[in-house]
A and B are shown apart, each in its own frame.
Chain A
Amino acid sequence: METILFYVLAAVTLLSAVCVVFLRRPLHNVLFMILTMIGLATLFILLHAEFLAMVQIIVYAGAVMVLFLFVIMLLNLEEISLPKEPRPLRWGFGVILALALVVVLFPIFSHFAPSITGKSIPGAVGNVSNIELIGTELFTTYLLPFEVASILLLAAIIGTVIIGRKLKG
């Protein structure tokens, strides 16, 4: 059951990722990106990371992708001419390079994966929920990175407002 679910979800995620990269209109790309995010969130649920799945849907499918849609509407890309995409030769070159990368990545994985894959999957840690575990770790061991992350977000907000401001004159 879990295997079938994994393959279906992986197929959906991969197909919509292909659409994200290869479709021509930015609006379609964004819509397929949302599908990819939801597929990844369900994969997270399959991996028993429920909290991250919810965050994935709220932050990525909710906020980030709406931001993309908003900018595309703002720029009104339908009226200006869409950038011409590269020639087929260049596309072929790109796909071959990416496949070469996959070929390089696989031996690295198979080098250290077998020591883990042989074991059975460990069950949930105790009877503590996923959210409780993440919260405890985040506010004890990883408190400093957590605060630094909030400062980073503040800097991003200020930077975005200043960059996006209309210049006078």
Chain B
Amino acid sequence: MVTLEHYLVLSALLFSLGIVGVMFRRNLIVILMSLELMLNAVNLSFVAFSRYLGSIEGQIFVLFVMVVAAAEVAVGLAIAVAVFRQRGTININDISLLKW
């Protein structure tokens, strides 16, 4: 018997993995990928809640999350390409102009 908690625990673990990737990798592309991982973890808990509460709203919200994620990835990768052209690197420690 798979309960809601199973899905929530899996979602929490995926989200934490995404956070590790965002905080402790230095490759811009891998950081964007970890962001995707976090968004997907949230999507999983949305769908699980939608199933166990018997309402469709969760799945519709997942669709909007996917739209935002696609837009974010496209713009983020364009920025990565532009930064690479300008500085010749995508190591985030070398791109620290806006860092305090």
Q: List the A residue with the shortest CB-CB distance to B26.
A: A83
| Alpha-carbon distance between A105 and B93 when the two chains are bound, in angstroms | 30
Verify B8–A20 contact, CB threshold 8 A: no
Contact of A109 among B12, B16, B93 (CB under 8 A): B12
Verify B64–A149 contact, CB threshold 8 A: yes
Verify B24–A26 contact, CB threshold 8 A: no
Q: Is the interface of B mostly helix, strand, loop or mixed?
A: helix
| Alpha-carbon distance between A75 and B75 when the two chains are bound, in angstroms | 16
Verify A20–B7 contact, CB threshold 8 A: no
Nearest chain B CB to A80 CB, angstrom units: 7
Interface residues of A in 26-84 (CB under 8 A from B): 26, 29-30, 33, 36-37, 40, 43-44, 46-49, 51-52, 55-56, 59-60, 63-64, 67-68, 71-72, 74-75, 77, 80, 82-84
Contact of A33 among B33, B56, B72, B89 (CB under 8 A): B33
Q: List the B residue with the shortest CB-CB distance to A51.
A: B59
A-B contact pairs, 21 of them (CB 8 A): A2-B1, A2-B2, A17-B17, A29-B30, A44-B44, A49-B62, A52-B43, A67-B77, A71-B77, A74-B81, A83-B93, A95-B20, A97-B20, A106-B12, A113-B8, A137-B56, A149-B64, A156-B75, A157-B74, A164-B78, A164-B82
7 cross-chain pairs, A with B, having the tightest CB-CB distances, nearest first = A156-B71, A83-B91, A122-B54, A94-B24, A21-B21, A163-B78, A98-B16
